[in-house]
Structure 1
Amino acid sequence: MKTEVISIIETELIQTFDELFKWFNIDRELLNYAPSNKGWSIRKILEHISLTNHYLLMLISKGTRKALEKSRKEDYAERLVDYDLDWQRMKIIGQHNSFVWNRPGHMEPRGKRHVADIRQELESQLQQCRILLQKMPHGEGALYKIMMSVNNLGKIDVYHHIYFLVQHAKRHITQMEGVEFEFNLGV
């Protein structure tokens, strides 16, 4: 397996979370501004990202355990020779409004969590992702697939799931930029 795949995922993961953390330093008025389209405030978007990550990380953690179990039972080196992440298909997830998706209610932000708690959870989630990637340095994450119904992705492996988490956050960074743009226009 090309170690570049894991390296790219980790690099984008860190860069994306660094970008997320910048949003915690914005003015309180902007943080709580509700856009004219009745969409979420930046605060709620950050909460939604942390909620979604929570549920994704449950799947990713389980997938990591299963992948590592499989790696101990079989020789998988040959399966990884031509392995590559489906970058283009996954990058669509990171584009705001690129497809229709009805999110489950448990991922709907309520707007009642303290901003500091949301940030702390995101920091913890970043560390979790990095640890899980470190546990699978030799392509083990390609050995176990989990169903992903979003945008009809189908069964995707653990590396794809981690990259999905990254792309989901990017999608909402774009959304937050839109809220900020509207706020600055004074609409």
Structure 2
Amino acid sequence: MDIFRYIQDIKVHLKLTFDEVDGWFRKDKKTLNHQPSNGGWTIQQILEHIYLTNFYLLILIEKGSKKAMKNSLNLDLESEMENYSFNKENFDRVGEHGAFEWIRPEHMEPKGEMSLDEIRSLITQQYFQCLQYLEVMKNGEGLLYKTTMTVNELGKINVYEYIYFLSLHAQRHITQMKKNESEMIKN
């Protein structure tokens, strides 16, 4: 596997996703606060949820990154890179809103206690955190540590896959925000 291409692909996905998320912060208050007819979250609540989910995923990514770097001192990175293949199909559904049932923990539900500017600033910082982890693990080290991901039965995933998952999760909610905006325009 070309690990450098793989890391670059994750960086591109992060950039496109985070840029699109950032665009939602420029919407007017009516759009941001439209309550969808299905009783779901407003766009502002979705943005807060993206931040909260990123926050908790980044805790796992940080731990995983440290363990992967430690493992790089003892494990055969070349062998790991030769034997690794990314199963993109397993992950793609994560980015599709409504593709499967997703029960999120209560601590990832928006509370409405943060300002839009605060959420935007924190999400921007989270983007840079992801890039920093990719830079630290720039030679393939992220393959050397796996953590279980129960969402969509992904199983044990490496640190790069966790970062990609974070980006896909935001992408999933971009679709949800588009649906909210579309419903508001129709009404």
What is the SS of the residue equivalent to 1:34? Answer: coil
- Match runs of 1:131-170 below 5 Å: 131-170=132-171
What residue number does 1:79 align with?
A: 80
What is the SS of the residue equivalent to 2:133? Answer: helix
Alpha-carbon shift at residue 84 of structure 1 (Å): 2.7
What residue number does 2:94 align with?
A: 93
Deviations 1:85-107 (A, max 9, x none): 22111111000000111110000
CA contact (8 A) 1:92 1:98 kept: yes
Asked whether 1:51 is paired with 2:52, we answer yes
Alpha-carbon shift at residue 82 of structure 1 (Å): 3.7
Amino acid at match of 1:110: K
| TM-score normalized by the length of structure 2 | 0.97
Alpha-carbon shift at residue 138 of structure 1 (Å): 1.2
Deviations 1:120-147 (A, max 9, x none): 0000000000000001111110110001
CA distance in 2: counterparts of 1:88 and 1:128, whole angstroms: 26
CA distance in 2: counterparts of 1:96 and 1:74, whole angstroms: 38
CA contact (8 A) 1:5 1:84 kept: no
Alpha-carbon shift at residue 74 of structure 1 (Å): 2.6
CA distance in 1: counterparts of 2:80 and 2:52, whole angstroms: 34
What is the SS of the residue equivalent to 1:121? Answer: helix
CA distance in 2: counterparts of 1:161 and 1:30, whole angstroms: 31
Alpha-carbon shift at residue 111 of structure 1 (Å): 1.7
Identity %: 46
What is the SS of the residue equivalent to 1:155? Answer: strand
Task: Indicate the RMSD between aligned Cα atoms, in angstroms.
Answer: 0.8
What is the SS of the residue equivalent to 1:113? Answer: coil
Identify unmatched segments of 5+ residues in structure 1.
Answer: none
| TM-score normalized by the length of structure 1 | 0.97
Identify unmatched segments of 5+ residues in structure 2.
Answer: none
What is the SS of the residue equivalent to 1:73? Answer: coil
Deviations 1:120-175 (A, max 9, x none): 00000000000000011111101100011111111110011000001000000000
What residue number does 1:178 align with?
A: 179
What residue number does 1:35 align with?
A: 36
CA distance in 1: counterparts of 2:139 and 2:66, whole angstroms: 14
CA distance in 2: counterparts of 1:11 and 1:85, whole angstroms: 16
What residue number does 1:23 align with?
A: 24
Amino acid at match of 1:33: H
CA distance in 2: counterparts of 1:55 and 1:24, whole angstroms: 21
CA distance in 1: counterparts of 2:83 and 2:19, whole angstroms: 31
